[in-house]
Amino acid sequence: MKWKHAIADYKHYLQIERGLSKNSIENYCYDIKKLLAYLEENTIKETPLTIDKNVVKDFIYHVSKSINPRSQARLISGLRNFFDYLIFENHRTTNPLELIESPRIGRKLPDTLSIEDIDRLISAIDLSYQYNGVNLGERNRAILETLYSCGLRVSELIELKISDLFFEEGFIKVTGKGDKQRFVPIGVSTINLINIWISIRTHIDVQPNSKDILFLNFKGKKLTRAMIFTIIKKLVDAIGLKKSISPHTFRHSFATHLLENGADLRSIQMMLGHESITTTEIYMHVDRSHLSEVLNKFHPRK
């Protein structure tokens, strides 16, 4: 069917032309699948090539009952991009979402941890913890230190390779969204912890497709995103921290603490791998009291 080929071509376009990651492509396609499921459930015979704005409006109203405004806005944006692609490829002449407005949403400020919270979490790691003869406690400490000291996304952490470590130069090479690479500085203390883990890693029977992957499970395979979440959740429970945090919280804390200590936004942007500095600017809103202190200290009209 022609519309199925159009969707397959769209996925290829997102990968090749837009350079999006596998996760991003799946999210875009998930939006389309939700629309197709709605059409099937309601016995609507329209396809993405023929659907009109009234059907799309009914669909968005339907899904808005079960998702929050932020998710609704993302859904509308994703479908709008899809229909723009169909127009570009001459599959359609109009975009059924052209006049549909996204819900107004406030800018969500990232959750952060204090330096004391981070120290407590890392101190709670049982460095003697072993499984099948592999010391996973030292691995977990190196993981958390790397997340925080380098500001990595969880996907970047689990894909980090030994060949990406340039310790003599004081940098690691990180592959971010869209396979874009950047060099991030790494401190001596974090280097030492990673080296401890590497010495332990040499005793693991590493699977062939994970030979160059830095952080492994006891079976010698690459860690999953879910495992990183689990490691952090257990530490949060262990110290009784009354915050809902994730691996991304360490990334937010990295950027916030740099800003609080005088780093400029452009440098933070480069280390985080943000394509636009407007994404990095959200950290300007995290600690208003700190900004007031800066104003009072440095402005001539304080």
Q: Assess whether pLDDT exceeds 70 at residue 290.
A: no
Task: Give the Cα separation of 116 and 107 in Å (integer).
Answer: 27
Look at 102-106, 142-146, 218-222, 265-269 and tell me which has the smallest mean pLDDT: 102-106
Q: Assess whether pLDDT exceeds 80 at residue 108.
A: no
Structural domain of 45: 2-88
Within this chain, do residues 131 and 257 fall inside the same structural domain, yes or no? yes
Q: What average pLDDT does range 39-60 have in this prediction?
A: 89
Is 251 one of the annotated active-site residues of the chain? Answer: yes
Query: Model pTM greater than 0.85?
Result: no
Single-letter residue type at 64: S
Is 225 one of the annotated active-site residues of the chain? Answer: no
Give the burial string for 45-76 (b: 16+ CB within 10 Å, else e).
Answer: eebbeebeeebbeebbeebeeeeeeeebbbbb
pLDDT digits (tens, 9 = 90+) for 109-131: 567 899 999 999 999 999 999 88
Among the listed residues 11, 18, 161, 177, the single catalytic one is 177
Please give the residue that has the higher pLDDT: either 53 or 297: 53
Is 12 one of the annotated active-site residues of the chain? Answer: no
Within this chain, do residues 211 and 257 fall inside the same structural domain, yes or no? yes
Eight-class DSSP state of 131 = E
Percent of the chain residues past pLDDT 90, beyond the cut: 42
Task: Give the Cα separation of 138 and 196 in Å (integer).
Answer: 7
Q: Assess whether pLDDT exceeds 70 at residue 78.
A: yes
148: in domain: yes
Q: How confident is the model at residue 107 (pLDDT cuts 50, 70, 90)?
A: low
Among the listed residues 80, 91, 153, 252, the single catalytic one is 153
Q: Assess whether pLDDT exceeds 70 at residue 295.
A: no
Within this chain, do residues 121 and 260 fall inside the same structural domain, yes or no? yes
Residues 6 or more apart whose Cβ sits within 8 Å of residue 302: 295, 296
Is 91 one of the annotated active-site residues of the chain? Answer: no
Within this chain, do residues 235 and 163 fall inside the same structural domain, yes or no? yes
Is 85 one of the annotated active-site residues of the chain? Answer: no
Q: What average pLDDT does range 1-30 have in this prediction?
A: 83
CATH code, 73:
1.10.150
Q: How confident is the model at residue 227 (pLDDT cuts 50, 70, 90)?
A: very high
Within this chain, do residues 81 and 121 fall inside the same structural domain, yes or no? no
HSE-CB of 256 using CA atoms within 13 angstroms:
21
Within this chain, do residues 75 and 148 fall inside the same structural domain, yes or no? no
Eight-class DSSP state of 222 = B
Q: What's the chain's average pLDDT?
A: 86
